[in-house]
């Protein structure tokens, strides 16, 4: 690297500082300049986020690297680079494990002895992250001038600072969860490490901007999207971005409760309010006072409870079940549903006034099939979790596995991806008599062929590309058939049918009503459903 070549590479980057360039493009240009100047096979730009380093741009590493989080305390090379005063080159015989072992493109398995160096980036005199360089040939970096590398690192720091100014909204959403974790630790409320929103697609970046925009407000948010798209994770990000981040986030799955207990769970009860109420108890609203209440599957709430929920949202007052005493609460509500609530309103199953109150700020989550290569980033995040769980040096995807992930329709979205990778890791590990340092998953391990899908999932996978209404009709038809079969096998007994489907009876009744089946009357007398003479509901 000559002074002239350094100058030639730096001038375009300096000019870029004053231009309106998307952060991802700015990072790509930076790594392009690094690769032109230095004889590296791999380069990465990583941002320090709490106790982990998050890749923002990579060159020569697999695409799923961008979805991983490298815990500093688990990667001694990265830890040493952050602690160094300037650029640091590791000796060829350095025994410290390499964080990119198994992640180098076109190189399978364990990395041999190679050349490795990097330097810390500082913004406003604080550690911001790292620039790392790897060469697969020993002594490749012998001729590198460390002072010149430091100059390049200083320019890289200016580049990332400019990118953050340009992308402030998205960064606020990404940073909010880290700040919330700090608040909880300070209050002695340490919880298991929360997952992060991962993605680079246009749809995901738009979602991050929406989260950063509405998160700090007091507006009620209605989060909608298909099953498995990450509604609870988005709720956590909204709470973390709000002034209430240091207070409680309380969650309630409205579909998981019998209809008779929903009101008590939401608003609490007094002793003797109903059979089994042996003591006074606060509801979720009071537990969330000063913080945020997340109501998942809000479309499953009975109409009677919807009216009481509306009253709390309007004036912040509630009455515990069995009591006339008023309680005031200050709660920010976030609701989620995978149902079309507007259609539920038209069908008379959901109150129009509550729908408009909940939807003060509607937030729709895109399905995974519309997020392009985000599937690889998400795969990287899940593989990093599995790597730690299984005690492996690294867990990587073969090229055919990456193509299989990109080609799959993902009817179960991100949750399906997580489960597919967990199963694949176990299958791949079972092929080895001894635990390998680097475990590679291939397409066969993923089991994404049509034959590998459960019977209930296969029609949904085939329908993933069709318009939403035909897909909804197919799903409802399958649900109806499953309920009819369960009732027939249990001789029309709804409670027994619910147990056979691993559901609560009240939830089964609501689902049956939604798909057009006649159900038992609310007073317990037989309705018009499938029920032989004499059968009990």
Q: What is the pLDDT of residues 267-309, one digit of tens each?
A: 888 887 777 777 888 889 999 999 999 999 999 999 988 998 9
* pLDDT given at position 187: 46
Point out the least confidently predicted range of 151-160, 355-364, 470-479.
470-479
What phi-psi label fits residue 268: left (phi over 0), alpha (psi between -120 and 50 degrees) or beta? left
Q: Which residues have CB under 8 Å from 8's CB, separation 6+?
A: none
What's the pLDDT band for 5 if we cut at 50, 70, 90? low
* pLDDT (average), residues 136-154: 84
Task: Give the whole-angstrom CA distance, residue 271 versus residue 281.
Answer: 8
Q: Which residues have CB under 8 Å from 79's CB, separation 6+?
A: 72, 73
Q: What is the mean pLDDT of the chain?
A: 82
* pLDDT given at position 176: 53
Joined together, the tokens standing for residue 207 give 């979602």
What's the pLDDT band for 165 if we cut at 50, 70, 90? low
Joined together, the tokens standing for residue 442 give 């291939």
Strand order across the beta sheet in which 88-90 lies: 70-71, 52-59, 42-49, 126-135, 115-123, 88-90
515 within 8 A of 483, measured Cβ to Cβ: yes
284 within 8 A of 265, measured Cβ to Cβ: yes
* pLDDT given at position 245: 93
263 within 8 A of 315, measured Cβ to Cβ: no
**pLDDT tens-digit readout, 354-400:** 999 999 999 999 999 999 999 999 999 999 999 988 888 889 999 99
Q: What angle do CA 176, 188, 55 make, to 5 degrees?
A: 35
Task: Give the whole-angstrom CA distance, residue 292 versus residue 286.
Answer: 11
**pLDDT tens-digit readout, 337-348:** 988 999 999 999
* pLDDT given at position 204: 94
* pLDDT given at position 244: 94
* pLDDT given at position 284: 92
314 within 8 A of 272, measured Cβ to Cβ: no
* pLDDT given at position 239: 96
Point out the least confidently predicted range of 54-63, 388-397, 452-461.
452-461
Closest CA to 41 of 61, 63, 64: 61
CA separation, residue 458 to residues 408, 452, 461 (Å)? 12, 9, 5
Helix (H) or strand (E) holding 194: none
């Amino acid at each position: 690297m000559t002074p002239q070549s350094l100058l030639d590479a730096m001038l375009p980057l300096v000019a870029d500082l004053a231009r309106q360039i998307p952060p991802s493009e700015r990072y790509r240009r930076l790594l392009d300049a690094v690769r032109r100047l230095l004889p590296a096979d791999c380069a990465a730009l990583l941002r320090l986020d709490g106790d982990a380093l998050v890749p923002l741009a990579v060159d020569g590493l697999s695409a799923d690297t961008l979805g991983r989080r490298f815990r500093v305390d688990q990667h001694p090379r990265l830890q040493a680079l952050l602690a160094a005063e300037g650029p640091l080159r590791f000796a060829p015989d350095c025994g410290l494990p390499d964080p990119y072992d198994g992640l180098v493109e076109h190189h399978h398995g364990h990395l041999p002895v190679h050349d490795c160096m990097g330097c810390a980036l500082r913004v406003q005199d604080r550690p911001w992250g790292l620039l790392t360089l790897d060469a697969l040939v020993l002594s490749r970096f012998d001729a590198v001038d460390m002072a010149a590398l430091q100059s390049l690192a200083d320019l890289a720091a200016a580049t990332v600072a400019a990118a953050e100014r340009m992308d402030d909204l998205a960064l606020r959403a990404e940073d909010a969860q880290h700040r919330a974790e700090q608040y909880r630790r300070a209050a002695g409320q340490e919880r298991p490490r929360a997952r992060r929103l991962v993605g680079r697609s246009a749809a995901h970046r738009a979602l991050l901007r929406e989260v950063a925009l509405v998160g700090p407000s007091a507006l009620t948010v209605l989060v909608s999207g298909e099953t498995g798209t990450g509604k609870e994770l988005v709720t956590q990000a909204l709470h973390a971005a709000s002034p209430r981040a240091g207070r409680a986030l309380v969650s309630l799955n409205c579909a998981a409760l019998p209809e008779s207990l929903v009101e008590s769970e939401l608003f609490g009860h007094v002793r003797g309010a109903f059979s089994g109420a042996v003591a006074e108890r606060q509801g979720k609203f009071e537990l969330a006072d000063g913080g945020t209440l997340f109501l998942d599957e809000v479309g499953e709430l009975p109409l009677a409870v919807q009216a009481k929920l509306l009253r709390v949202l309007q004036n912040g007052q509630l009455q515990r079940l069995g009591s006339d005493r008023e309680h005031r609460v200050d709660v920010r509500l976030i609701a989620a549903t995978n149902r079309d609530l507007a259609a539920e309103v038209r069908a008379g199953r959901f109150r129009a006034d509550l729908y408009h109150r909940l939807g003060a700020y509607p937030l729709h989550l895109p399905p995974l099939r519309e997020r392009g290569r985000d599937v690889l980033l998400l795969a990287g995040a899940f593989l990093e979790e599995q790597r730690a769980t299984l005690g492996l040096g690294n867990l990587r995807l073969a090229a055919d596995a990456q193509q299989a992930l990109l080609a799959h329709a993902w009817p179960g979205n991100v949750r399906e991806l997580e489960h597919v990778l967990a199963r694949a890791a176990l299958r791949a590990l079972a092929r080895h008599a001894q635990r390998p340092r680097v475990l590679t998953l291939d397409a066969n391990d993923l089991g994404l062929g049509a034959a590998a899908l459960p019977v209930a999932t296969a029609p949904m996978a085939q329908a993933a590309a069709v318009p939403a209404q035909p897909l909804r009709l197919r799903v409802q038809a399958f649900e109806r058939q499953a309920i009819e079969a369960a009732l027939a096998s249990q001789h029309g007994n709804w409670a027994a049918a619910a147990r056979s489907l691993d559901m609560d009876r009240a939830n089964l009744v609501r689902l049956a009503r939604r798909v057009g089946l006649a159900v038992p009357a609310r007073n317990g007398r037989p309705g018009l459903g499938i029920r032989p003479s004499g059968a009990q509901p």
